[in-house]
A and B are shown apart, each in its own frame.
Chain A
Amino acid sequence: MGKPIPIRPAGASVPGEPPHPPRLAPASALGGGGPRRRTLSADAVFRGVTLAAGAMVLVVIVAIAIFLGYQAVPALGRNSANFFTYQDWFPDSAPPAFGIAATGFGTVYTAVIALALAVPVSLGIALYLSHYAPRQVATALGFLIDLLAAVPSVVFGLWGRDCLYTPVRELSAWLNHYVGWFPPFHGDGPYGRSFLLGGVLLAIMILPIITSLSREVFRQSPKANEEAALALGATKWEMIRTAVLPYARPGIIAAVMLGLGRALGETIALAMTLGNTNILGFDLVTNGGTTIAANIANKFGEAGDTGRGALIASGLFLFGITLVVNVIARAVIFRRRELTETAV
C-alpha cells in the first residue's frame, strides 16, 4: 500500500511535447495540467524539500549527541573523580568531583521496580480489554487508559507527593517491621521519599503505554486461530495461552522495552518524589535515592559552569542508554510491520 504508484505522473512522460489540454474538465478541477518543464522542476523541488525535512530527524539525533558532547567535554576534563564509578555529585567544588554511579544505579533500579510492578498488571488489563470486557466497556476503558497516558508527569509527581507518600511511608514501616530480614526492606527510616515511592509512581505512569500497545497486539491476533482453539473445546485461558500469547510475544517485548525507555527518562515526577540523595544500595524503604534525570532537574538551578557541563555529561549518558533501549524495541517492532502503525 505504501509502495509508490507505478503510473508515471504526466510531467515525467515524453519531454518536449505540448502539455495536455488543461481544460479536460476533471483534471482542472483537481488542479492538474501545467506547462511540463515547470512541473518537472517543481516535482524535484518538492521532493528535495520533503527529503530535507525527513533528513532533519537524523540530523537532530546526531546533533543531540554532538552538542551534548561538546558541552560535556570541558567539565569532564576538569573532573577529578572517575565519572563512571564515583557516586557523589560535587561539580562546583574545587577540585570538581562528580560521577554517575549512584544516579545511574538509581535510574536503572527505579525502572526495574516500575517494570516489575507494571508489566503483569498492564498485560492483565490489556487482556481484559481485548478478550474479556464487553465491547462498550472495552472502548470506554481503552479511551480512559489513553487519557491516563496524556496526564502530564508533573501532575503524577504532585499526586505522588501529596497522596501516595503517606500510604507508602506506612507500607515501608510495615514492611520493615515484618519483613525487615529481607535486605531491601532492612533500612530503619525515616521512610517515605524512597525508591519504593518512586518505583510505584513510575509503575503507574508507564502502565498506560505498555497497556495500549499490548492491547493492540492482543487484538490483532488472528481470529481464526482463536475460534479454532475454542471450537476444539479449549477454555478461554487455554485459548489465550495457545492462540493469543505466542502470536503477541514480540509485541509484548516491544511494549515492555518502550515502557522501560519511558521509565529511564522520566524526570519531573521522580524529582518530586525521590529523596534526592546519592545513595548506592538496594534499600527500598529509606528516604533517599535519585536518578540521572531527576538529578539534572534538581541540580540545574544551582549549577555553575562546570556543574552545568557535568549535568549535560550525565544527560549524554542517559541519552545513550535510552537510545540503545529504544533501538532494540524498534528493531523488534520493525521486524513485525503490522505493529509499527500502532506503536505509541
Chain B
Amino acid sequence: MSVTAARTRRRARIPRCTHPQGCARTRRSAPEPALRGRRLPGWALLAIAVAALGLAAAVVYPAGIGNWVLVTVIAAILYLTGVFAAAWSVEGPRSARNRTWSALIHSAFVLAVLPLASVTWTLVAKGSRRLDHDFFFTSMRNIGARDANGGAYHAIVGTLEQTGIATLITVPLGICAAIYVVEYGRGPLAGTIRFFVGVMTGIPSIVAGLFVLSFWVLVISPKLNGGRPGYSGFAAALALTVLMLPTVVRSTEEMLRLVPASLREGAYALGVPKWKTVLRIVLPTALPGIVTGVMLALARAAGETAPVLLVAGGGASINVNPFQDNQNSLALLTFQQAGDASRYAPARAWSAALTLVALVLILTIAAKLVAGRSPLAR
C-alpha cells in the first residue's frame, strides 16, 4: 500500500515542481525559491460561495422553476465546480481534487444532520403537547374519536413488562452462550455459533414476530388455554427475546475476550476450577461491559413495533397480566394512533413516540455511562 502511495506521489510530484506557469509565476513574485506552492486564499472560497449562490438564485427565481431548495442544490454544485476550477488554476490538479473531495465529505455530514435535527425538533415540539396527567395515568379504554383525552398507561405497562420478561429470558441464555463460545468453544461448533449469532442479528423483526406467532401463539399456547390462540404480552416478550439474544451474546462475547488471560491463569494456579473461575473471576470483571450490551439490546427491543403488533394484539385497556389477553406497548400505541382517524390521535401518537424515545435514550446513555466505568474500557 505504501509502495502504491509512493508511486502515486512520485508520478504526481514531478509536474508540480516543473510546472511552467506555477514556477514562472513564483519566480516573478518572489526572488528566493519558495518552499510552498501558491495557495488559494480564504476569501476566494467565500467569494466562490457567494457567486454560486447569486448565480443559482439568478437562474432559478426569474425562470420560476423552483424554490430555495433548488437554489441550494444548484449553488452547491456550482460551488464545487468553482472551487475545483479555482484550485486547479492556482494550486494544481491534485489540490483541486483534494479540496473538492473535502467539500463533498463535509457536505455529506451537513446532509445527515438535517434529518436528525428535524426528527428531534418535531418530536419535542409535537410530542410535548400531550405529556399531561391523563397521558401517563389513563388508558385508551372507552376513548372515542371525539375524546381529546386518553393516555398511554396501558402501553407503558406493556412495554415495561414485555421488555422485562424478554430481558429475564435473554440475559442468562445470552451470557451462557457467550461463555461457551469464549471459554469452552473449540472447533467448528463454536465457530458456527459465532457465525450464526452474527446472522441472527440481521433477522427482520417482523420475521421474529411471525415465528412466535406460528410457534407459540398458534401451536403451543392453544394447548395450554383450551384451544384459543394466546395473544399475550408474554408472546411479545418471546419475540423480543429472539431479537435481543444475538446482541447480548455478541457484546458479552467481546467483553469476555477483553478479560486478560493472566486473571484466568492466576485463578487456575490457585486451584480454582474452571467453572468457578468463569463465574467468580471472568464474569465480574466483564460485568459493566455486559450490562452495557444488555441495555443497548433492551433499548432496541423496547422500540420494536412489528412483533408486538403480530403477537400481543394490542388492546385499549390496562392489562397487567402478561400471560393472558391482549397487551399494548408504547411503540404499538404510536403506530395505532398514527393510523387513527381521530383529530386527537396524532398528538397522542407523538407523545407516545416522545415517551418511547426518552425511554430508549435514557437506556442508551446509561449504557454508555456504565461502559465508561468498565475496568476493561479501551
Contacts and interface: CB of A to CB of B under 8 A. Distances in A.
A57 B195 CA distance: 10
Interface stretch (A87-95, A183-191, A314-322): A314-322
B85 interface: no
Given A57-B197, A235-B95, A243-B5, A151 B360 contact: yes
A58 B182 CA distance: 17
Interface in A277-332: 293, 296-297, 300, 308, 311-312, 315-316, 318-319, 322-323, 325-327, 329-330
A30 B207 contact: no
A307 to B, nearest CB: 13
Contact of A10 (B245, B268, B368): B268
Interface string B186-198: 1001101111111
Contact of B108 (A27, A120, A233): A120
Given A58-B196, A128-B108, 16 more contacts: A4-B183, A10-B273, A12-B274, A32-B272, A43-B274, A54-B177, A67-B219, A155-B123, A159-B122, A174-B66, A228-B6, A237-B97, A246-B1, A268-B309, A300-B310, A330-B199
A209 to B, nearest CB: 10
B140 interface: no
Contacts of B334: 154-155, 158
A344 interface: yes
B275 A43 contact: yes
Interface of B: 1-2, 4-6, 8-9, 12-13, 65-66, 69-70, 94-95, 97-98, 101-102, 104-109, 111-112, 115-116, 118-119, 122-123, 126, 172-177, 179-186, 189-190, 192-208, 210-211, 213-215, 218-219, 242, 245-246, 249-250, 254, 257, 261, 264-265, 267-281, 296, 299-300, 302-306, 309-310, 331, 334-335, 338-339, 346, 349-350, 353, 356-357, 360-361, 364, 368
Contacts of A228: 2, 5-6
Interface stretch (A76-84, A96-104, A139-147): A139-147
Contacts of B122: 159, 162-163
A226 B234 CA distance: 53
Most chain A CB neighbours (cut-off 10 Å) among B126, B176, B202, B339: B202
A98 to B, nearest CB: 16
Given A57-B193, A265-B204, A207 B199 contact: no
Contact of A234 (B9, B249, B275, B310): B9
B118 A163 contact: yes
30 contacts: A4-B186, A5-B264, A5-B268, A9-B277, A26-B270, A27-B270, A30-B272, A30-B281, A47-B180, A61-B203, A63-B211, A64-B208, A70-B219, A122-B112, A123-B108, A150-B300, A150-B361, A151-B119, A151-B357, A153-B303, A232-B6, A246-B4, A247-B1, A264-B204, A268-B306, A312-B210, A319-B207, A323-B199, A340-B194, A343-B250
Given A143-B368, A148-B116, A237-B97, A327 B199 contact: yes
A56 B207 contact: no
A58 to B, nearest CB: 6
Contact of A60 (B200, B205, B346): B200
Contacts of A271: 335
Contacts of B331: 152, 154, 268
Q: Is the interface on chain A under 10, 10 to 19, 20 to 34, or 35 or more residues?
A: 35 or more
Nearest to A265: B204
Given A42-B275, A237-B102, A296 B206 contact: yes
